[in-house]
Structure 1
Amino acid sequence: MVVAATAATAVSPAAAPAPVTPAAASTLAANSAANLVAGKPAFLHAGSEDKFVQRSVISSAGLQFVPYERTYRDLRVLGGDFVIVTNSSGQVTATSSAQEQTIEGLSTSPKLTKAQAEKVAKGQLKTVSGVESTDLVVYALDGAPRLAYESTVRGTSAEGVSRLTIDVDALTGAVLKTRERVMEGTGTGWINGSVTISTTLSGSTYSMTDPGMTTLKCQDAANNTTFSGSDDVWGNGTGTNKETGCVDALYVAQQEKAMLSNWLGRNGFNGSGGAWPIRVGLNDQNAYYDGTQVQIGKNTAGQWISSADVVGHELGHGIDDTTPGGISNGNTQEFVADVFGAATEAYANNPNDPRDYQVGEEINLVGSGPIRYMYNPSLAGDDNCYSSSIPGEEVHAAAGPGNHWFYLLAEGTNPTNGQPTSTTCNGSSGLVGVGIQTATKIMYNAMLMKTSTSSYLKYRTWTLTAAKALDATCGLFNKTKAAWDAVSVPAQSGDPTCTGGSPSPTPTATGGSPSPTPTSGTCSGQKLGNPGFETGSASPWTATSGVVDSSASEAAHSGSWKAWLDGYGTTHTDTLQQAVTIPAGCHATLTYWLHIDTSETTTTVQYDKLTVTVNGASVATYSNLNKASGYTLRTIDISAYAGGTATLKFTGTEDASLQTSFVIDDTAITLS
């Protein structure tokens, strides 16, 4: 495997202009939230000795999310957190609160000493390598509030490496709750082929450090040393080689970083431009995130498992950890991370690891194929449907209903883009997906309302609130609701309702109100003009000279005309683009037939490339390595661009020698 390191910048899809600047919107939100909290509304269950600490405002999709933490007599309250949501004008549209009762008269004098509490905490692990911290807190996560000590202990459990947070009753010594910080997952690695990664040059030494995010780096787990060298060529294509494992890992992480920015508007993995080191070399058949790092292990053949669905999943735990409320509770954390793994795999769109909504599909990790199937969890022995037993199941098995919901939301029951069909738990059929980008955006905005008491039931409410805010026509809301109904997650009293239009927002405990108002229209038909280029001219496409062509040197897929990009054998760039309107709430599928031939002989280096973008964001990339003897049908879900103008653009770039021809024909953007 040979990898050239170059930096690339992706452009976010176009959005409707905001009425105020982002900085002003954040300030308005912070002030509005502070004024609301000062009045101690009923949903806060505020006591006379409570204080409220406002955290940084998070902006997403035209909304502002203002997280708060709570103290009681200056002690941190576990389960006292809440989030206030405003529009860009500072008007409160929704709230979400973890605490359900007022704390009054609770003594803050413990009977146990700190050392006694730490002894209890250490006893929860098989071996202990150290105690990171122990603090006196108020435990209000369930039942009556209690005084407690919270410790975080490192060591090993019966399952392996552990970083465990333990809450111990400060009066009785009883263990109130444990939370494992090591979030485990598993899958494939060494599969991405020849890829481009961004590295850092210092003096004459290159290192596997992201130049724009220096906390994102790939290291040897044996000594936590970042891989470095005198040239910018990495890995050897062998799955058992750690540097090769790091090529895959850093490539995936940088793809996820771009996805977070372009799809979700998030600044890095932790929301403030940062990440965690990725370390390849764990001597175990798994991978994990623990709040400080991502560790990548191996399969039974000793190959490092740095695939999109593994690295994306583990970094997804970090995203979950650094959104309001921390790591999701109620046995939802693994499905949340699977969403980010699937989204990263889809965004990367690597032909060696195509989008498939499976986890660990590229290798036979322990002799049983993929470890999870989002479209049919029962294939791996997990539940397709939610029941009251899910919160008590093994955490990975409990991901089944959430993964099934996400698949139905993104793809529906009968996708037309090559993805598998999916059944429902309530007998419903004909569910039409919103596309993985929009589904991920709904999930992410729901996470920005997350509190420490998250659960499947609350995620239903939060995603409905997010969907309603993203689409005032109620199209996304109805599809989100149908998907939850289809996996048997029951309706909740706090669920918002949606009847269309643009009503004035009304603050509620868990409801929401739309901010943007997308255009609506008919969800049927093909939108591209001159899709097969048979008019003999580019119009209504815009193309560089000579792209629309009828010569016999490259055959059309059908008819006589096609679009032929590059093929000159010299440094050259060709473009082809057209803008269409996609009504809000529509499912939009981009299809085109693509033929690639080349005089390049390499099997490892991408010298010439074709990039497909929508509103500047990459949705597909190809190169001389994808050459084939005939045309191949390519299908891409672009439903995320519903509600506005989508500019489709093909860009072919060719280097100084040896031609590569990218030939496109019979294009379509079809609505349903």
Structure 2
Amino acid sequence: MAALEANAAEIGRGPGDRFTAMSMTTLQGGAGRSSAWTTMRYARTYRGLPVLGGEVVVSLRPDRTTQLVSSYLHRAITMGTAPKLTAAAASRRARERVPGAGRTTSAPRLVVDAYHAEPRLAWEVVVAGHRRAGIPSRVHLTVDALTGATITRYDEVKAAGTGDSFFHGTVRMNTAPGESGFELRDEDRRFKVGDDNNRQDPAAPFGDLFLDEDNRWGDGSQDDRATAGVDAFFVGQKTADYLTEVLGRPGLPCGQDDTPLSAHLGEDVFDAFWTGCQGGAHFGDGGAQTRNKPMVAFDVVAHEIGHGVAEPTLGNATLQSAGLHEATGDVLGSSVECWVNEQTPMPKDPCDYRVGSGLGFVIRAMNKPSSVDGHPDCFSDKIDQLQDEHEVAGVGNHFYYLLAFGTSPGDDLPDSPTCNDTRLTGIGRDEATKIWFGAIDLAQGEETYASFRGKTLAAAERLYGRASVQYEAVQAAWAAVNVDSGDDRGAGNPDGPGGSDQPGGSREPGGSDHPDYPGDAGADD
């Protein structure tokens, strides 16, 4: 509870709030280590009413100090708790809004619905009924206790759909039931997929949500607009699973709101963008440059989601920090792509650490960045003279690949030369990815490669210990790409400079909605 008190402003704690522990999970720091990271999840009430979306997550280091406090709410709730709408009226309105409704399963419950921008007093009503073909439903609705409007709606009986994708064959899809069929929306993993309708405007909000009557989506070709939606949905599912099951993170980046993904930004758009949680990720159709393959290959979609994961802590206004943003997307995209290939091989989207290869292009090569348009393999004072953050990402990608796989990984993965002629042995993909995203959690706005080096050392120490093989591997991998500050002041102290003697450069501000796939990438014929 001390962490909640110390972070009262950040979690929007007000005088009417009370917190109750819901669950506790532990993540062991590594083989042979007795210490562990602990994650506590708390439920919130306001003046005695349950607050939906008011949960708080507290992450504790092995020494029991607070590493992270996360809450969807950031402002204290201030509202009355006297409803104008009666429970009986709320129940009646809820049944009217559910097709095939039979009965409410229990008495309506007065709650605070905080899933959206402004918390609202509401009645929570559960309505049992049947959808088409006799499929049962249990629909949860929150009905505004002042106006009678529906605020939130979801069905706890999941709809098992199937889709014919462009890259991944026929896939299972955890879609959501809608008022007149099914929606390309995953209520468990909290994301949705829409159609941008060729607007060619990545700054636009989320597109039109894909809808279908029989829960059978796409036909495997671009002729059916839902096909690209199937690919985006499949990658969204698997990325969410990797973030939670492997990295132990809370899931996709937009919290209680559905993370938006939109296909069909434009027929000739060879690009993909992340525009924040309001607009989400947008994917073009590729056009002639991809021979009309849509920009929804595995490592492309997961890359954009990676921007969303990094956005709360890692800045994007200076050149090196923006390059680290791009590398973060590549790390997540390649990690998820290879994790899924281990479960079910994907011939059209293989595990190769060559970003975008499924499109017929190699945008960036993580093992040897210079093999694509001369992107830098090694850090030097020329980094800040580059014009594009995607080039700058080469140093971070090269570090990650060496950390994970070393110089000669085998298993059909390509070799990776070092900048200091050393030979390295990797620690494995998932351990390297945990360290990278542990460092992202410790990032403090605009980072340089030198300062981020310190964050990765701090993450390795907290996960595996300062005397561990993993910690030493992080040191060696940074030295192998010429990022070596001469001291480790950033390790174990994320506030320290970590050797910030390497300048960060600058770039035009504008958030993370920059294009991720410049048109001069090399063809992969």
Scaled by the length of structure 2, the TM-score of the pair is 0.59
Task: Give the match for residue 356 of structure 2.
Answer: 360
Read off the aligned partner of 2:359 and give its amino acid letter.
Answer: I
Partner Cα separation in structure 2 for residue 330 and residue 201 of structure 1: 39
CA apart distance, 1:232: 1.5
CA apart distance, 1:275: 4.2
1:342–1:229 CA distance, 2 compared to 1 (3 A): same
CA contact (8 A) 1:240 1:303 kept: no
Read off the aligned partner of 1:436 and give its amino acid letter.
Answer: R
Task: Give the match for residue 517 of structure 1.
Answer: none
- Tell whether 2:206 aligns with 1:212: no
Partner Cα separation in structure 2 for residue 63 and residue 488 of structure 1: 31
- Tell whether 2:363 aligns with 1:371: yes
1:388 aligned residue (361, 381, 384)? 381
- Tell whether 2:329 aligns with 1:343: no
1:508–1:376 CA distance, 2 compared to 1 (3 A): closer
Partner Cα separation in structure 2 for residue 214 and residue 335 of structure 1: 25
SS of match in other structure, 1:198: strand
- Tell whether 2:288 aligns with 1:288: no
Deviation readout 1:339-384 (Å, 9 max, x if unpaired): 11111212222422221101111233xxxx3111000111102111
Partner Cα separation in structure 2 for residue 446 and residue 272 of structure 1: 20
CA contact (8 A) 1:252 1:308 kept: yes
Aligned counterparts, 1:422-441, within 5 A:
422-429=416-423, 431-441=424-434
Aligned counterparts, 1:378-417, within 5 A:
378-380=370-372, 381-393=374-386, 394-417=388-411
Partner Cα separation in structure 1 for residue 494 and residue 358 of structure 2: 45
CA contact (8 A) 2:439 2:452 kept: yes
Task: Give the match for residue 510 of structure 1.
Answer: 496
Partner Cα separation in structure 2 for residue 511 and residue 237 of structure 1: 50
1:260–1:477 CA distance, 2 compared to 1 (3 A): same
- Tell whether 2:253 aligns with 1:270: yes
Partner Cα separation in structure 2 for residue 285 and residue 495 of structure 1: 42
SS of match in other structure, 2:229: helix
- Tell whether 2:470 aligns with 1:486: no
Aligned counterparts, 1:59-458, within 5 A:
61=27, 62-63=36-37, 87-88=61-62, 90-91=64-65, 190-222=166-198, 224-239=207-222, 241-270=224-253, 272-283=255-266, 284-291=269-276, 292-299=279-286, 300=288, 301-323=291-313, 329=321, 331-349=323-341, 350-352=344-346, 353-364=349-360, 369-380=361-372, 381-393=374-386, 394-429=388-423, 431-458=424-451
Partner Cα separation in structure 1 for residue 460 and residue 12 of structure 2: 23
CA apart distance, 1:274: 4.1
CA contact (8 A) 2:315 2:321 kept: no
SS of match in other structure, 2:460: helix
Deviation readout 1:281-311 (Å, 9 max, x if unpaired): 1121111111122111122233311011100
Partner Cα separation in structure 2 for residue 230 and residue 493 of structure 1: 61
- Identity value in percent: 29
Read off the aligned partner of 1:231 and give its amino acid letter.
Answer: D
CA contact (8 A) 1:240 1:302 kept: no
- Which one has the largest radius of gyration? 1
Partner Cα separation in structure 2 for residue 332 and residue 359 of structure 1: 15
1:324–1:63 CA distance, 2 compared to 1 (3 A): farther
1:508–1:398 CA distance, 2 compared to 1 (3 A): closer
Read off the aligned partner of 2:484 and give its amino acid letter.
Answer: P
Q: Which sections of structure 2, spanning at least 5 residues, go unmatched?
A: 14-23, 28-35, 41-57, 69-164, 200-206, 499-525
CA contact (8 A) 2:454 2:494 kept: no
SS of match in other structure, 2:186: coil
1:273–1:354 CA distance, 2 compared to 1 (3 A): farther
CA contact (8 A) 1:464 1:495 kept: no
Read off the aligned partner of 1:458 and give its amino acid letter.
Answer: S
CA apart distance, 1:336: 1.3
Read off the aligned partner of 1:358 and give its amino acid letter.
Answer: R
SS of match in other structure, 1:419: coil
SS of match in other structure, 1:484: helix
SS of match in other structure, 1:329: helix
Partner Cα separation in structure 1 for residue 219 and residue 482 of structure 2: 48
SS of match in other structure, 2:217: coil
CA apart distance, 1:85: 8.7
Partner Cα separation in structure 2 for residue 452 and residue 402 of structure 1: 17
CA contact (8 A) 2:316 2:446 kept: no
CA apart distance, 1:219: 3.0
SS of match in other structure, 1:463: helix
- Tell whether 2:446 aligns with 1:460: no
1:475–1:288 CA distance, 2 compared to 1 (3 A): same
> Cα RMSD over matched residues?
3.3
Partner Cα separation in structure 1 for residue 494 and residue 305 of structure 2: 32
Aligned pair count? 344
SS of match in other structure, 1:199: strand
SS of match in other structure, 1:306: coil
CA contact (8 A) 2:323 2:391 kept: no
CA contact (8 A) 1:204 1:230 kept: yes
Task: Give the match for residue 104 of structure 1.
Answer: none
SS of match in other structure, 1:197: strand
Deviation readout 1:514-562 (Å, 9 max, x if unpaired): xxxxxxxxxxxxxxxxxxxxxxxxxxxxxxxxxxxxxxxxxxxxxxxxx
Displaced runs of 4+ in structure 1, greater than 6 A? 56-60
Partner Cα separation in structure 2 for residue 490 and residue 59 of structure 1: 35
SS of match in other structure, 2:431: helix
Aligned counterparts, 1:505-584, within 5 A:
509-510=495-496
Scaled by the length of structure 1, the TM-score of the pair is 0.47
